[in-house]
Amino acid sequence: MHPIQRFLFPFFALLLLAACERAPTLPRLGADDIVLAFGDSLTYGTGAERNEAYPAKLAGLTQRVVVNAGVPGETTAEGLQRLPAVLDEHHPGLVLLCLGGNDMLRRVPASQTENNLRLMLQTLRTRGIKVVLIGVPEPRLFGGAPDFYARLAEEFQLPYEGDILNAVLKDNALKSDPIHPNAAGYEAIARQLADLLKESGAL
Protein backbone atom coordinates (compact mmCIF):
# COMPACT_ATOMS: atom_id res chain seq x y z
CA MET A 1 0.00 0.00 0.00
CA HIS A 2 1.28 3.45 -0.92
CA PRO A 3 2.23 5.60 2.14
CA ILE A 4 -0.46 8.12 1.25
CA GLN A 5 -3.04 5.32 1.05
CA ARG A 6 -1.94 4.08 4.49
CA PHE A 7 -2.44 7.59 5.81
CA LEU A 8 -5.85 8.09 4.21
CA PHE A 9 -7.31 4.66 4.95
CA PRO A 10 -7.97 5.27 8.69
CA PHE A 11 -9.44 8.66 7.83
CA PHE A 12 -11.97 7.20 5.38
CA ALA A 13 -12.71 4.33 7.76
CA LEU A 14 -13.66 6.86 10.43
CA LEU A 15 -15.87 8.72 7.97
CA LEU A 16 -17.63 5.48 7.07
CA LEU A 17 -18.12 4.59 10.72
CA ALA A 18 -19.55 8.04 11.45
CA ALA A 19 -21.97 7.70 8.54
CA CYS A 20 -23.17 4.35 9.84
CA GLU A 21 -23.79 5.77 13.31
CA ARG A 22 -25.48 8.97 12.12
CA ALA A 23 -29.01 9.46 13.41
CA PRO A 24 -31.83 8.77 10.92
CA THR A 25 -32.79 11.79 8.85
CA LEU A 26 -36.05 13.08 7.36
CA PRO A 27 -36.76 14.81 4.04
CA ARG A 28 -37.32 18.53 4.37
CA LEU A 29 -40.95 19.45 4.99
CA GLY A 30 -42.49 21.70 2.39
CA ALA A 31 -44.38 24.79 3.48
CA ASP A 32 -47.69 23.05 2.71
CA ASP A 33 -46.84 19.64 4.16
CA ILE A 34 -49.09 18.50 6.98
CA VAL A 35 -47.67 17.08 10.19
CA LEU A 36 -50.00 14.64 11.95
CA ALA A 37 -49.63 14.25 15.72
CA PHE A 38 -51.19 10.83 16.36
CA GLY A 39 -51.67 9.59 19.90
CA ASP A 40 -53.73 9.62 23.08
CA SER A 41 -54.32 12.19 25.83
CA LEU A 42 -50.65 13.23 25.80
CA THR A 43 -51.21 14.38 22.22
CA TYR A 44 -54.73 15.69 22.78
CA GLY A 45 -53.46 17.95 25.56
CA THR A 46 -55.28 16.70 28.64
CA GLY A 47 -54.30 18.93 31.56
CA ALA A 48 -54.16 22.13 29.52
CA GLU A 49 -56.26 24.12 27.08
CA ARG A 50 -56.55 22.74 23.56
CA ASN A 51 -54.40 25.56 22.16
CA GLU A 52 -51.71 24.69 24.73
CA ALA A 53 -51.32 21.06 23.63
CA TYR A 54 -47.98 20.18 22.12
CA PRO A 55 -49.28 19.99 18.50
CA ALA A 56 -50.56 23.58 18.70
CA LYS A 57 -47.28 24.79 20.20
CA LEU A 58 -45.28 22.84 17.62
CA ALA A 59 -47.25 24.46 14.80
CA GLY A 60 -46.17 27.85 16.05
CA LEU A 61 -42.53 26.81 16.37
CA THR A 62 -42.31 25.19 12.93
CA GLN A 63 -44.69 27.34 10.89
CA ARG A 64 -46.33 24.15 9.62
CA VAL A 65 -49.85 22.79 9.95
CA VAL A 66 -49.80 20.28 12.80
CA VAL A 67 -53.03 18.30 13.11
CA ASN A 68 -53.91 17.17 16.63
CA ALA A 69 -55.17 13.61 16.22
CA GLY A 70 -55.00 12.70 19.90
CA VAL A 71 -57.78 10.62 21.48
CA PRO A 72 -57.73 10.42 25.30
CA GLY A 73 -57.71 6.88 26.63
CA GLU A 74 -56.73 5.27 23.36
CA THR A 75 -54.69 2.06 23.36
CA THR A 76 -52.34 0.96 20.61
CA ALA A 77 -54.92 -1.61 19.44
CA GLU A 78 -57.49 1.16 19.04
CA GLY A 79 -54.95 3.44 17.40
CA LEU A 80 -54.08 0.72 14.92
CA GLN A 81 -57.72 0.54 13.86
CA ARG A 82 -58.13 4.33 13.68
CA LEU A 83 -54.93 5.19 11.83
CA PRO A 84 -55.89 4.42 8.20
CA ALA A 85 -58.96 6.67 8.22
CA VAL A 86 -57.00 9.54 9.78
CA LEU A 87 -54.30 9.19 7.13
CA ASP A 88 -56.95 9.19 4.39
CA GLU A 89 -58.46 12.35 5.84
CA HIS A 90 -55.31 14.43 6.29
CA HIS A 91 -52.67 13.01 3.89
CA PRO A 92 -49.75 13.96 6.15
CA GLY A 93 -46.15 14.25 5.05
CA LEU A 94 -44.94 13.36 8.53
CA VAL A 95 -46.49 11.56 11.51
CA LEU A 96 -45.48 12.03 15.14
CA LEU A 97 -46.49 8.73 16.76
CA CYS A 98 -46.99 8.76 20.53
CA LEU A 99 -48.99 5.82 21.89
CA GLY A 100 -48.61 3.14 24.53
CA GLY A 101 -49.30 4.81 27.86
CA ASN A 102 -52.83 3.45 28.16
CA ASP A 103 -51.59 -0.04 27.34
CA MET A 104 -49.25 0.22 30.33
CA LEU A 105 -52.01 1.51 32.61
CA ARG A 106 -54.22 -1.41 31.54
CA ARG A 107 -51.35 -3.89 31.87
CA VAL A 108 -51.43 -4.93 28.24
CA PRO A 109 -48.44 -7.24 27.58
CA ALA A 110 -45.48 -5.25 26.28
CA SER A 111 -45.11 -7.65 23.35
CA GLN A 112 -48.65 -6.82 22.23
CA THR A 113 -48.04 -3.08 22.49
CA GLU A 114 -44.81 -3.43 20.53
CA ASN A 115 -46.52 -5.44 17.82
CA ASN A 116 -49.38 -2.94 17.48
CA LEU A 117 -46.87 -0.11 17.11
CA ARG A 118 -44.93 -2.16 14.56
CA LEU A 119 -48.10 -2.69 12.51
CA MET A 120 -48.77 1.07 12.58
CA LEU A 121 -45.22 1.77 11.45
CA GLN A 122 -45.59 -0.77 8.66
CA THR A 123 -48.81 0.94 7.54
CA LEU A 124 -47.03 4.30 7.46
CA ARG A 125 -44.04 2.87 5.60
CA THR A 126 -46.28 1.25 3.00
CA ARG A 127 -47.87 4.65 2.35
CA GLY A 128 -44.48 6.34 2.12
CA ILE A 129 -45.13 8.55 5.16
CA LYS A 130 -42.18 9.52 7.35
CA VAL A 131 -42.41 9.07 11.12
CA VAL A 132 -40.95 10.37 14.36
CA LEU A 133 -41.49 7.90 17.21
CA ILE A 134 -42.05 9.28 20.71
CA GLY A 135 -41.44 6.99 23.67
CA VAL A 136 -43.91 7.03 26.57
CA PRO A 137 -42.51 6.37 30.06
CA GLU A 138 -43.82 3.60 32.25
CA PRO A 139 -46.18 4.91 34.98
CA ARG A 140 -43.88 4.31 37.92
CA LEU A 141 -41.47 6.38 39.99
CA PHE A 142 -38.31 5.64 38.04
CA GLY A 143 -39.96 4.56 34.82
CA GLY A 144 -38.41 5.52 31.51
CA ALA A 145 -39.74 4.53 28.09
CA PRO A 146 -39.75 0.74 27.65
CA ASP A 147 -36.97 -0.67 25.48
CA PHE A 148 -39.31 -1.63 22.66
CA TYR A 149 -39.62 2.00 21.53
CA ALA A 150 -35.90 2.29 20.85
CA ARG A 151 -35.96 -1.17 19.30
CA LEU A 152 -38.71 -0.15 16.87
CA ALA A 153 -36.94 3.10 16.05
CA GLU A 154 -33.82 1.09 15.18
CA GLU A 155 -35.79 -1.48 13.19
CA PHE A 156 -37.51 1.16 11.06
CA GLN A 157 -34.61 3.66 11.12
CA LEU A 158 -36.74 6.45 12.63
CA PRO A 159 -35.84 9.63 14.46
CA TYR A 160 -36.72 8.82 18.07
CA GLU A 161 -37.50 11.01 21.07
CA GLY A 162 -37.41 8.83 24.16
CA ASP A 163 -36.59 11.26 26.95
CA ILE A 164 -38.74 14.39 26.90
CA LEU A 165 -41.98 12.88 28.26
CA ASN A 166 -40.09 11.19 31.06
CA ALA A 167 -38.32 14.44 31.95
CA VAL A 168 -41.56 16.44 31.93
CA LEU A 169 -43.49 13.93 34.02
CA LYS A 170 -40.75 13.85 36.65
CA ASP A 171 -41.05 17.61 37.16
CA ASN A 172 -44.02 18.71 39.28
CA ALA A 173 -43.79 22.21 37.79
CA LEU A 174 -44.48 20.77 34.33
CA LYS A 175 -47.42 18.44 34.99
CA SER A 176 -51.11 18.81 35.81
CA ASP A 177 -51.48 15.34 37.39
CA PRO A 178 -49.28 12.24 37.74
CA ILE A 179 -49.57 11.24 34.07
CA HIS A 180 -50.28 14.47 32.15
CA PRO A 181 -48.24 17.62 31.49
CA ASN A 182 -49.56 21.12 32.03
CA ALA A 183 -49.24 23.96 29.52
CA ALA A 184 -45.57 24.51 30.37
CA GLY A 185 -44.91 20.79 30.02
CA TYR A 186 -46.53 20.61 26.60
CA GLU A 187 -44.49 23.61 25.48
CA ALA A 188 -41.31 21.84 26.60
CA ILE A 189 -42.34 18.78 24.56
CA ALA A 190 -43.03 20.93 21.51
CA ARG A 191 -39.65 22.65 21.77
CA GLN A 192 -37.81 19.35 22.04
CA LEU A 193 -39.67 17.96 19.02
CA ALA A 194 -38.97 21.12 17.02
CA ASP A 195 -35.26 20.69 17.81
CA LEU A 196 -35.41 17.05 16.73
CA LEU A 197 -37.09 18.00 13.45
CA LYS A 198 -34.34 20.54 12.78
CA GLU A 199 -31.58 18.06 13.66
CA SER A 200 -33.11 15.40 11.40
CA GLY A 201 -33.35 17.78 8.43
CA ALA A 202 -37.14 18.15 8.32
CA LEU A 203 -36.92 21.90 9.03
Residue 94: φ, ψ to 5°: -150, 140
CA–CA distance from 71 to each of 40, 68, 162, 193 (Å)?
Answer: 4, 9, 21, 20
Q: How many helices (H) and strands (E) does the chain have?
A: 9, 7
Residues 6+ apart with CB under 8 A from 116: 75, 76, 77, 79, 80, 99, 103
Three-state DSSP at 14 gives helix
d(CA 72, CA 40): 5
Strands 34-39 and 180-181, how do they pair? Answer: unpaired
* H/E segment holding residue 132: strand 130-134
Q: Are 13 and 71 in contact (CB under 8 A)?
A: no
> Annotated catalytic sites, by residue?
41, 177, 180
Dihedral of CA 24/54/194/63: which sign? positive
